[in-house]
Structure 1
């Protein structure tokens, strides 16, 4: 059982992971039922999640400044809080790029990539739930590997999606727009993997 004085940080990590999950689900919903006329409204909803996630990180950093004892190194707490926040930031970035680049039609491979982000964030939430008992957890390393595997899948899909885009799309503006969106979707998966690797590093240093 985590010590009571550590609970603030573990709760903050959980909240950060939960906002990432909510953002990923919102992105997936937008892509599965795409309506460009609703994109601006969905961006506002996404920004509210991103702002809330920022608030969680700021609260944790404020506490960290004055804390005497922490569950692990201050630098690691700061890093994990940052990379969790990066996930939500990156997911918001996908919607922003779709709006900036005036995407009007959805592509199937982009929908698949958004679903991978949902899977990765759900695994992150499970991983963060295991963090308070990392010394005894039987599933923590499995979750790290699962997120790594999702990122590998996303990389492969990104490569094939970019090739399909450049070999089948004749509209240069659409090529530019989707090149941008695909890269931001890939960044989401990369950031999810960074969370998993950060937690893995923390566990290794404290076991």
Structure 2
């Protein structure tokens, strides 16, 4: 029974990571098959996934408040749930910004960013599947490095995209729309890296 109690947190991390992955799939598919008429439907689906992640986090927080023995430090459990749920929020925010700014055509950079974000969420889920073995895992470090590499790829894409737009576009409204939207993509990659940082901290504290 004690093992099941310990596993519930690790299982919830995987479920949360899967929610973010589904959001990234939804966003990637929508951007690559862009149809403005589907925006309202996409917003509804995205919000359902974000709400599911938020509800799952709060359920685990309630459980954590009632337990005396936890598999890792309580602060680490709490922070990790918050960081993964923040990824869910950040991905939803991309679609919300696209809606707010009435984006009607998709830039190639957005497709590239959506692919990076989807790959990052895939690795995030794999990292959380491996996380229960953090004391002896040889794979976790590789996942952390891969997430860091993807975040850096996102940083480079963001910098080159913004530079390219300001170098070629004469439309200030279009510049504002896409600067804000691509910023949300970059922040989503940052949010995933923050999860990896917490995982790395847990490993270091338990060597």
After TM superposition, the score normalised by the length of structure 2 is: 0.97
5 Å matches for 1:109-148?
A: 109-148=109-148
Where in structure 1 do 4 or more consecutive aligned residues deviate above 6 Å?
none
- How many residues are paired up? 206
5 Å matches for 1:16-165?
A: 16-165=16-165
Per-residue displacement from partner, 1:121-161 (whole Å, max 9, x unpaired)?
11010100111111221110000000000000000000000
Structure 1 residue 3 displacement after superposition: 2.6
Q: Which runs of 5+ in 2 are unaligned?
A: none
Structure 1 residue 96 displacement after superposition: 0.2
After TM superposition, the score normalised by the length of structure 1 is: 0.97
SS at match of 1:72: coil
Per-residue displacement from partner, 1:45-103 (whole Å, max 9, x unpaired)?
00000000001100110000001110111111000000000001000000000000000
Segment of structure 1 superposing worse, 169-178 or 89-98: 169-178
- CA distance in 1: counterparts of 2:78 and 2:12, whole angstroms: 11
Segment of structure 1 superposing worse, 183-192 or 166-175: 166-175
Structure 1 residue 5 displacement after superposition: 2.0
- CA distance in 1: counterparts of 2:47 and 2:94, whole angstroms: 12
- CA distance in 2: counterparts of 1:107 and 1:77, whole angstroms: 38
